[in-house]
Amino acid sequence: MDKDYYETLEINRNASNSDINKAYRHLALKCHQPNYGQTGSVEQFRQLGEAYDVLSDPQKKAIYDKFGEEGLKGGTPPEYGSSGAWSSRYIYHGNPEKTFKQFFGGDNPFAAFVTNDAPLHFGGLRPEEMKMQDTHIERDLHLSLDDLFHGCIRKIKISRRVMNDDGHTSSIKDKILTINVKPGWEEGTRITFPKEGDQGPNNIPADIVFIIRQKSHPVFVRQANDLILKAQISLEKALTGFSVDVKTLDGKRLNVPINDIVHPAYKKIVTGEGMPLSQDCSQRGDLIITFDIQFPENLSAEKKQLIKQALAFK
């Protein structure tokens, strides 16, 4: 009597490649060591290996579906093939351990989960529940200060390995990840895309993490939510007063009067003209203007005397 490979794997004849893989995984783990001591386990394990070896191969499966075990192992007639000759006979290699290792990638599908020399007891625990996740992948995302002030959308294409429907083979596919950058995000902000790394039959894909890196700006230096602007002024202006024209990141033109005497540690704070707060975009940090005072390289005796006279007044 012909063997019923479908019955051996406990599936119907309409089973997909994914169904075949899942059935073999489930039954092979039940029959594999250390369960060989049970009556019939060794023979059942061999039958499972042969059934999977046939049904997982499209050509062998097609011959078996049409001609049964007799046609598979005895060879099919010329009219079935395209070469005009009888097909070669199928012979199972007879080593179910080889089939098992090829499927799981090793002789112990749970090797990564055994710790402290403690054996794992199957007890109905499904392999999917014991998979370990790959280490997360970090990538820098460089953004301008303007991007972080206004917010923006960035689309990033990644290429990753994806499991095919058979649950055993894989292919490389592209995917677009979309990042909605919020106004006010700071350097070091992390955006995580869970489980978007490479897929595999025995792993949980890694998380992909993008880390915000801020590009330098030609005018402003960011300090938390504040913006620092350094203005160069002459000693004359430092002593007599002046105004600073500032074009802000949102396009406004500010004219900031400086009526105080500007000393080296002096700062002018313009409230509410800094970066938006990421928690509340209606709130903003401050604009802080610092000064680089340009002293004259030399003075004539006459100018020195005039300065002395000017500074002598109280």
User: What DSSP line would sit under 172-216, residue for residue?
Assistant: EEEEEEEEEEPTT--TT-EEEETT-S---TTEEPPPEEEEEEEPP
Verify cis geometry, omega within 30 degrees of 0, for the bond prior to 34. Answer: yes
User: 31 and 124 share a domain?
Assistant: yes
pTM: 0.55
Residue 122 has pLDDT above 70, yes or no: no
CA atoms of 212 and 156, how far apart (whole Å): 14
Q: How far apart are the first and last CA of the chain?
A: 120
User: 104 and 156 share a domain?
Assistant: no
- The CATH number linked to 282 is 2.60.260.20
Residue with tokens 């025995």: 202
User: 15 and 120 share a domain?
Assistant: yes
Q: Which of 125-134, 201-210, 270-279 has the highest mean pLDDT?
A: 270-279
User: 137 and 179 share a domain?
Assistant: yes
Distances (CA, A) of 250 to 149, 272, 274: 8, 12, 10
Residue 258 has pLDDT above 70, yes or no: yes
Rounded to 10 deg, the angle between the 17-31 and 41-55 helix axes is 160
Q: For residue 9, which of 51, 46, 43 has the smallest C-alpha distance?
A: 51
User: 113 and 10 share a domain?
Assistant: yes
pLDDT band (50, 70, 90) for residue 50: very high
CA atoms of 117 and 120, how far apart (whole Å): 9
Residue 239 has pLDDT above 70, yes or no: yes
Tokens matching residue 157: 């294409």
Task: Mark which of 214, 236, 265 sits at the end of a domain.
Answer: 214
Mean pLDDT of 47-54: 91
User: 13 and 124 share a domain?
Assistant: yes
> In total, how many domains does the chain have?
3
User: 265 and 277 share a domain?
Assistant: yes
Residue 6 has pLDDT above 60, yes or no: yes
User: 168 and 244 share a domain?
Assistant: no
pLDDT band (50, 70, 90) for residue 126: very low
User: 141 and 93 share a domain?
Assistant: no
User: If you count them, how many residues does the chain have?
Assistant: 314
Mean pLDDT of 291-296: 90
User: 126 and 140 share a domain?
Assistant: no
pLDDT of residue 81: 52
Task: Mark which of 130, 165, 184 sits at the end of a domain.
Answer: 130
Mean pLDDT of 12-28: 89
Task: Mark which of 114, 130, 146 sits at the end of a domain.
Answer: 130
Tokens matching residue 152: 């923006």
Using one digit for the tens of pLDDT, what is the confidence trace for 62-121? 888 888 888 888 766 555 554 444 456 788 888 888 888 888 765 555 544 434 444 444
By the 8 A CB rule, do 76 and 67 touch?
yes
CA atoms of 166 and 186, how far apart (whole Å): 44
Domain enclosing residue 224, as ranges: 220-312
Mean pLDDT of 3-7: 89
User: 124 and 22 share a domain?
Assistant: yes
User: 10 and 123 share a domain?
Assistant: yes
